[in-house]
Chain A
Amino acid sequence: MATTAAAPAYAGTHEHATSGIWSWITTTDHKRIGVLYLFTAMFFFLLGGLEAILIRAQLHGPNGQLLSAEAYNQMFTMHGTTMVFLALMPLSAAFFNFLVPLQIGARDVAFPRLNAFSYWVYLFGGIFINLSWFLNAAPDGGWFGYTPLTTLQYSPGLNQDFWVLGLQILGVSSLAAAFNFITTIVNMRAPGMTMMRMPLFTWNTFVVQILVMLAFPVITIALIFLQFDRFFGTNFYTTAAGGDPLLWQHLFWVFGHPEVYILILPAFGLISETIPAFSRKPVFGYPVMVYATMLIAFLGFGVWAHHMFAVGMGPIGDTVFALTTMLIAIPTGVKIFNWIFTMVGGAIWFTTSMKFAIGMIALFTIGGISGVMHASPPADLQQTDTYFIVAHFHYVLFGGTIMGIFSGIYFYFPKMFGRMLSEKLGLWHFWLTFVGMNLTFFPMHFSGLAGMPRRIYLYDAHQGWDLYNAMSSWGAYLLGAATLIGVYNFFVSMKRGPLAPADPWGAPMLEWSIPSPPPDYNFAAVPKVTSRYPLWDVKHPELTTDVPHTREGDKHIDVDVAGKHVADTHVGNPPNRSAELAQASTVVHPTARQLGIPMPTPTAKPMAAAFFMVTMFGGMLFFHAPGPDGNKPLALTVILGSALAMVTALYAWFLTPLEDEHH
């Protein structure tokens, strides 16, 4: 497979700029798109966090004066919508983009331009929803937008229009990414990497993309119905015409429950990478981890109505959905035990990443247990729409997803930016997050059980809620401070952190065999994979003796960088950093052109297509512009003009070959 020595026979390749804003706008490199996702999602994470802090400030004491009822409704709706669709999913997408091709030994994703399109649709969609703030019309119907509250009759403003159209836009981004990553994982694995040798993060990504592929069309249709009801006067959710508002709840949660696995599985994948690396042991029960992931995804489609016990589905419906929901605890519990057994007997290295991973296991378990509690309909009837539910899903989404993603950021930051994050600041970041998270959300269990409903902007004193709310609010401020420390660490380390070697953690996967940050082509020669832990096979064969291999004695992965075999760079535990750093600073990596590797050409066409798609959706708003019947001519002009521009951009994109485009 050694293409290292090949002459630059590929005449069309020319060097692509790697700095300047135009290089980011036109990039088709999965790693740079991953970085774009990371920065954008971090921005929205901070925005959603700010909204959360305003919510907590309003609820700090009885009869808070900070926010009006309208502003409060907008705040909690946008907090949920932002965190789910604009922060957590894209933070996961940052890792899908950056890591999956590296983990499977590929040079890019299957469709690099489609990948850029996904990102730009996400960015413009996120901006679109947040533009509503400037019209004082931010969505205010809750993140699950129940009908009939969100129909035109009860929400006549532009607020829910922004929400419906914004979610449609973001769905396009997720679906395009799903088709891309399914194809990448199925079709671009390096020789020897069978499905059952894929890193667990890639496995989780694969299952998540299948969930996106099957769940997002359902919310697309639910939103289409709502959009048609609001804009064209159809009757899908109109009770007066015989329509059933519960149709929305069913369709939304058929999407919405797989969605929570879409949110958590990437974090499961990340800590399935960090825990074995920092325990210096292969993951415990790899095949069972894979099957558990699949089982969670499969069962995830059969539990949606546990969000709806309070609507009264009757004993059979309640029982079925209670049982399927409790069943999901089994594969999830299996994963938790497997992570614990991976650590048992390992030589644990307590890095910040590992602390976040262990914290994730603990906090997610708490959230999982409260989840099993309201899987039981009688218990749920007491807990539904109270702060108990808020406590539950923040333990799984903050304690689970965010802690897992932080673990991933501390682990992969050196690979992304070529520098190490500060472990000292990381220590503060972790402990303040851990304490702040528990201080914020643990009291919510009690305020919920004491009867405090969700989504109220005022409460009177002396109902037994005052202390819990004050605790939650102080916890939220602490979380805000902790997050700022993390952000400070991120930006300072990007500039001034110590240089990172190729493999700072002595980790087992392919991505650590190439330089940090990787060259644009990733792998100078396509690696050959002989087991689940390709780099340990080379560097630490003693760790993988129990792992199935292609054949004994064939434990080489053929990774050449500048003619130097990576396997020779270091052996030892912990890795010999000074030697690696000396190498990292002296070696000039050959360019793709010198290696004769075809690279996708930068292009702004996906961005143009994304932009006009968003204005096409956005044009719908003018139907509800001030005036007796909206501004129909303007709406039609914007929609049709944008559609024409989008189709033109798509044709220009599709009819240009990926790699031959000359400028």
Chain B
Amino acid sequence: MSHAASLEHGQHGHAGGHPPTSTGLDHKKIAVWAFIGSECMLFASLISTYLIYKDRSIKGPFPHVACNPPQCDVARPAILDIPVTSASTFVLLMSSLAMVLALAAVESKDLPLPAGAGAWTRALRSSKLWLFMTALLGTVFLMFQAYEFTSFVHEGLTIRTNLFGSTFFTLTGFHGAHVTAGVLWLLTLLAIDFKRGLGPNDAIHVDIAALYWHFVDVVWIAIFTLVYLIQ
């Protein structure tokens, strides 16, 4: 199996061959953009539902400071931990940076290293390093989320507790599932890179993974802003 990473209808050069595409873009790129368009509506539905149901939970825990004395007997602290989530948001943003570097490294794989290139330049050109870093940072983000979910359950908030629990866990859980799928995708690319090396001909495969990864990142920025920051 020589074309280990060939996903669907690649541009490998057969005699007879394929006619050039109408737009000059690879089919996969257009398909992923269409997929992202669809995902926008998916997350729009989830986020809208969260916002519609905001402040409509009959009982706590609530996302932000629900009430303080004298409105209620005991002050109920916010369940959302903004500092911790800011850290996980930073991690996810950095993973996008690593993703950019991974794609650049794959695209420039065939270029000779400049004379006297230092360790840093060599590191920048390592697609394995940056694919691994992207997957690692994604995994760290998921661990933050696992920690967050666990602590919420300990504080008495489950998906069944109230409307906030239902909408919050579904929304962020869907995002987490997308990150998980992205991590698996990146690890698959990394395995192929180790097996036979990814070169400029494979750039499209890394490119579409990167598109997806950046999209998932952008969605998180929307969630972080709308769910965590805006009270």
Residue numbers of A with Cβ under 8 A of B are 3, 6, 9-10, 12, 110-114, 175, 178-180, 182-183, 186-191, 193, 213-218, 220-222, 224-225, 228, 232-236, 241-244, 247, 251, 254, 526, 595-598, 600, 651, 654-660
Contact status A235-B16, CB under 8 Å: no
Any A CB within 8 A of the CB of B90:
no
Query: Which residues of the other chain, B, contact A595 by a CB distance below 8 angstroms?
Result: 16
A-B contacts, CB under 8 A, total? 154
**Residues on the A chain within 8 Å of B2, using CB:** 660
Contact (Cβ within 8 A) A225 B9? no
Residue in B closest to A1 when the chains form the complex, CB atoms: B19
Q: Is the CB of A658 within 8 A of B9?
A: yes
Residues of chain A contacted by B41 (CB below 8 angstroms): 213-215, 217-218
**Minimum Cβ distance to chain B for residue A8 (Å):** 8
Cβ-neighbour of A187 out of B6, B27, B38, B188 (below 8 A): B27
Asked if A228 and B30 sit within 8 Å, CB to CB, the answer is no
User: Which residue of B19, B57, B166 contacts A234 across the interface (Cβ within 8 Å)?
Assistant: B166
- Which residue of the partner chain B has the closest CB to A661? B1
B31 CB to nearest chain A CB (Å): 5
B111 on the interface (CB 8 Å rule)? Answer: no
Contacts of A655 in B (CB 8 A): 1, 4-6
CA distance A5 to B221 in the complex (A): 56
The reply to whether A187 and B25 contact each other, CB–CB distance below 8 Å, is: yes
Does B122 sit within 8 A of A, measured CB to CB? no
Q: Give the shortest distance, in Å, between B222 (CB) and chain A (any CB).
A: 15
Which residue of the partner chain B has the closest CB to A228? B170
Stretch with Cβ within 8 A of A (4 or more), from B69-77, B126-134, B137-145, B157-165: B157-165
Residue numbers in A under 8 Å from B35 (CB-CB): 179
Additional A-B contacts beyond A186-B22, A228-B170 (14; CB < 8 A) = A186-B30, A187-B27, A188-B22, A213-B37, A216-B38, A221-B45, A233-B159, A233-B160, A234-B166, A235-B165, A241-B163, A242-B162, A655-B1, A658-B9
Q: Contact partner of B16 among A232, A596, A600, CB < 8 A?
A: A596
With contacts A9-B16, A654-B8 known, is A235 near B166, CB below 8 A? yes
Q: Is the CB of B159 within 8 A of A234?
A: yes
Q: In the complex, what distance in Å separates the CA atom of A452 from the CA atom of B19?
A: 59
CB distance from B73 to the nearest CB of A (A): 22
Find out whether the CB atom of A111 lies under 8 angstroms from the CB atom of B9: yes
14 contacts between A and B (CB under 8 A): A6-B16, A178-B34, A182-B34, A187-B25, A187-B27, A188-B22, A216-B38, A232-B160, A241-B162, A242-B58, A598-B18, A600-B9, A657-B3, A657-B6
List chain B residues, Cβ under 8 A from A112. Answer: 9
A216 CA / B6 CA spacing, docked (Å): 29
Which residues of A sit under 8 angstroms from B12, Cβ to Cβ?
A: 657
A188 to B1: give the CA distance in the assembly, Å: 27
* Nearest opposing residue in chain A for B4, CB measure: A655
Q: Is B15 an interface residue (CB 8 A)?
A: yes
- On whether the beta carbons of A187 and B45 are closer than 8 Å, the reply is no
Residues in A with CB closer than 8 Å to B15 are: 6, 9-10, 596
Check if B23 sits within 8 Å of A659, measured CB to CB: no
Please indicate the chain B residues that have their CB under 8 angstroms from the CB of A175 in the complex: 38
Q: Are A182 and B10 in contact (CB under 8 A)?
A: no
CB–CB B170/A218 < 8 A: no
Chain B residue nearest to A243 (CB atoms) is B163
Known: A110-B27, A235-B162. A242 touches B56 (CB 8 A): yes
Set of chain A residues within 8 Å of B4, measured between Cβ atoms: 655
Who on chain A is nearest to B56 by CB? A242
